[in-house]
Amino acid sequence: MHGHITYEELLEITSWGIFSMNMKGIQVTDKRLKPCLPKKIKNALHEGIYTGSPGKDIYLMLPYLSSERMQEVAFLLSKNFPKVPPSNHVNVAACVRFIYGQFEKQGILRSKKDFERMKKEKLNWDLPRKFLKFLYKELENSNNFYGLNILYEMEAHRLGDEAVLYKSKEKLKEMEKTYDKAIESAYKCKSYKHMFSLYYWAGRYFAEFGESKKTIKYYKMAILKSCKYYHKYYPVGDSYYCKRLLNSLSYIKKNDTKNWDSFHKKYKNKIKSDKLKRVFEKIRKK
């Protein structure tokens, strides 16, 4: 077997469960990692200690893993997968995204440059999806709805990338179903962020595809659910998500003018966050 590390070293890194620990950049700040530090793997990326570990190392090793070994790694990974939604999802989401070989956030949605780059790459996620099927099964067997929530979210993003890149309506339909599954599992594990943010990302991909009716539908759901759950995930407020909300409201105002006034009046009084209220007021004055 070849690869940048051995299979045994991959199992060792996976057993650490680093992706669920507190990190700053590539520096680990969680005391639970202290027993792992003396065991750092020399040839692994950042010696096996980085945000989203062991996702990148799993991705690089996939071509060298048999189905049986993929299953073993997936089993070990599932044992270290958090069941309770953390206050910060970055490490967990990054781990799964890295398994697809996607080392940059937001896929084609991040910029035109990323869109063109991914178009040239001729994406092939067959091996990651083969591995993730084993992980899906393990998480289902253990009723880990938070784990399923993250897996469905990352797969929906990738399906959205493929749908837009290859102008595939079939991929778009599959994306929508997968986002809906992610949202369903979010309710089961009470992952409040995913009760509103996933509607937004679905809307973004529909917008890129040129499906205005679907975009309006999902943007409206993102706004409706953010009015209900935003304050539970962001007690103080979050400027990053406020920008997404502003983007959603701007799109609706421009593309659903007939229903804009009634929609705005209906939901502006349901907002529990002061920051979101200011976003609604800002778009009203435009």
* pLDDT score at 286: 64
* pLDDT score at 227: 82
* pLDDT score at 93: 94
CA–CA distance, 192 with 232 (Å, rounded to integer): 7
* pLDDT score at 280: 73
Instruction: Give Cα 118 distance to the centre of its chain.
Output: 18
Using CA atoms of 103, 109, 112, 117 in order, give the dihedral in degrees to the nearest 10: 30
Q: Which residues touch 3 (CB under 8 Å, ≥6 apart)?
A: 10, 60, 61, 63, 64
Q: Which residues touch 93 (CB under 8 Å, ≥6 apart)?
A: 52, 150, 153, 154
Judge whether 56 and 96 are in contact, CB under 8 Å.
Answer: no
Secondary structure of residue 105 in the 3-state scheme: coil
Structure tokens at 244: 């997404």
Judge whether 229 and 195 are in contact, CB under 8 Å.
Answer: yes
Residues 209-222 as b or e (16 or more Cβ within 10 Å = b): bebeebbbbbbbbb
* pLDDT score at 44: 92
Residue 77's alpha-carbon distances to 74, 82, 218, in angstroms, are 5, 10, 32
Q: Write out residues in the chain with pLDDT < 50, as ranges.
A: none
Q: Where is 90: in which H helix or E strand?
A: helix 90-99
User: What's the pLDDT tens digit per position in 12-37?
Assistant: 999 988 765 655 555 556 676 777 77
Among candidate residues 239, 255, 160, 234, the one with its CA nearest the CA of residue 198? 160
Amino acid at 99: I
* pLDDT score at 133: 98
Structure tokens at 126: 């067959």
Q: What angle do CA 274, 204, 234 make, to 5 degrees?
A: 25
Q: Which residues touch 51 (CB under 8 Å, ≥6 apart)?
A: 19, 23, 25, 26, 90, 91, 94
* pLDDT score at 30: 67
